[in-house]
Amino acid sequence: MHFSKTYSQLLLTLPPELRENAIQYRQLKKLIHQLVQELSSLGLSPTVLQQLLEQQNPASLTAQIEEIRQQYDRVSDHDENHQRHATVVYEFIKTSSQIEPRLRLSIKHPADATDVASGHTTTPDNILEALQLHSRALESNTASVDISYSSANTHDLIIPLRSDTAFFQLLNTALTSLAEHLNTVHGTFTSTLQCLAHAISSTARPTSSSAPRSFSTYSMAASNAATLRPSSGSRNTDLYSWREIFQIYVEAEIFESVGERTRGERSVEETETRMRRFEGRMQEKRSMLTLAGSKDALDVFMRMNVFILDLKRFQFANAEATRKILKKHTKRTALPLPSYLLSVRNSPLPASPPPTELALLPRPPASLPRLLVQAIGEILLPIVPHVDDYSCLICTSLAFKPIRLGCGHLFCVRCLVKLQKLGKANCPICRAPTVLKADRTNVDYALLNFMADWFPLESRAKLSTNEREAAKEELEEFGIAGGCRVM
């Protein structure tokens, strides 16, 4: 299937506000067609141009120029001795309002300049006449041909390309408005995200907002697990449901892979598959949410992710359309586009950005879907503290009760006691000799309260594990090996 067809079909599946900002592939294609006609009427059909631009040998270049000349000037007073060297340059003039592509034909007469100076029939003049005729025929007021004498025996012939100007005008406008639109999208997305963050935080409140505080610095006896009993089945918060939802979301790695071997942005297809799987899982989890606000928030959250996926498809299609249309431009006209124009759109990061004066087309911003995914990670996910961020590096469970060593590193009381019993003096993380110095005063009470508040279930579980382990150890220290055996 033709790309233009695939492209327009894909655009139809996207939200209208994105569709309206897409590259107008068909129109651009028409302009390329016009440009080819324009060039052909100048005698610069793609084949001729191709040869002109590719030939490295000055002699054959001259021959080519001769051919062109002869197309317009049948009255050839062609001097066999004239060794003419000609070059064709396809160049861009960037004015404030638009890009004007043009062709510069430089024709050199190394032998004798008098012929030129005398105004005798020469190649450029004849081409000039032909071009002027051509421009009148086009009824164009913009197409004019300038001849300048850059040196005594070189003619510079400048041919503005009208359809090409229109082509770049259209492409440039499309890309500019696209960039603007994407900026707006970014802004809107971020503010929606902040609203959502607000909504979720009010449905995922810590237990302290419904239960009295369990801890104070005075109630630190090791066996006060009873006072820790959280209102686990609290009807006032969806804290644990949200934690699970976010956990599933992070693990789904929908848009980006964080694996060690496959790090990076995922392809559109892979993202679609993962999104479907995630949607399926959320269908189940939706019923876990008890508060009305939570369900609405989850729906908004899902819609935002679907939007990112749409945006990803849209950006991919647009980049593809831009790349293809520029490629088509080159292929049809044989005019060589600066290589960076063709390459930047393939890779997210160009190897070397072109100098500013050469940056003809506005570049798409750094992958917007990526930025949006990042925003979710920065604004939304931290609302619900994650247990991994508060776990002990040694036992990998919640670092409860938390002991802050003199060097600032955090471990659970149980692992710290084990280290001390083994006589290990150095901090496992930084090797500072802080372990044996730690005592009761190293309990981080602020963190302890925070943990009891946000991780009531984990705190309780860890506390009872600690107690069980300590009891077992005590028995072993008394010389009773293993569990209790009744023979």
Partner 1 sequence: MDSKVGPPWQDMALPKRIIKETERLVADPAPGITAAPHEDNLRYFDVTIQGPDGSPFQQGVFHLELFLPEEYPMSPPKVRFLTKIYHPNIDKLGRICLDILKDKWSPALQIRTVLLSIQALLSAPNPDDPLATDVAKHYKEDEKDAQRVSREWTEKYASN
Smaller CB separation from partner 1, 5 or 431: 431
Reduce the DSSP state of residue 189 to 3 states and report it: helix
Q: Are strands 85-94 and 410-412 parallel, antiparallel or unpaired?
A: unpaired
Using an 8 Å Cβ cutoff, are 257 and 235 in contact? no
Smaller CB separation from partner 1, 319 or 394: 394
Backbone angles phi, psi at 153, to 5 degrees: -120, 25
What is the Cα–Cα distance from 166 to 169, expressed in whole angstroms? 5
Of residues 46, 60, 64, 81, the one with CA closest to residue 127: 64
Contact residues for partner 1, defined by CB under 8 A: 259-261, 393-397, 415, 418-419, 422, 424, 426, 428-429, 431, 482-487
What is the Cα–Cα distance from 49 to 32, expressed in whole angstroms? 15
Per-residue burial over 74-109, b = 16 or more CB atoms within 10 Å of its CB, e = otherwise: eeeeeeeeeebebbbebebeeeeeebbbbbebbbbb
Least distance to partner 1, CB of residue 397, Å: 6
Least distance to partner 1, CB of residue 486, Å: 5
- List, in order, residues 6 or more apart from 382 with CB less than 8 Å away: none
Smaller CB separation from partner 1, 17 or 251: 251
Strands of 138-224, DSSP E: 146-151, 154-160
Smaller CB separation from partner 1, 22 or 410: 410
Length of the chain: 487
Least distance to partner 1, CB of residue 485, Å: 7
Least distance to partner 1, CB of residue 393, Å: 5
Least distance to partner 1, CB of residue 435, Å: 11
Of residues 41, 68, 49, the one with CA closest to residue 139: 41
Least distance to partner 1, CB of residue 284, Å: 22
Smaller CB separation from partner 1, 171 or 416: 416
Smaller CB separation from partner 1, 84 or 414: 414
Least distance to partner 1, CB of residue 281, Å: 18
Least distance to partner 1, CB of residue 418, Å: 6
What is the Cα–Cα distance from 107 to 150, expressed in whole angstroms? 11
Smaller CB separation from partner 1, 69 or 414: 414
Smaller CB separation from partner 1, 258 or 306: 258
Smaller CB separation from partner 1, 212 or 423: 423
- List, in order, residues 6 or more apart from 226 with CB less than 8 Å away: none
Using an 8 Å Cβ cutoff, are 54 and 176 in contact? no
What is the Cα–Cα distance from 207 to 228, expressed in whole angstroms? 11
**Encoded amino acid at 295, one letter:** K
Instruction: List C-alpha distances in Å: 437 to 41, 109, 405, 426, 446.
Output: 91, 92, 8, 10, 21
Least distance to partner 1, CB of residue 474, Å: 17
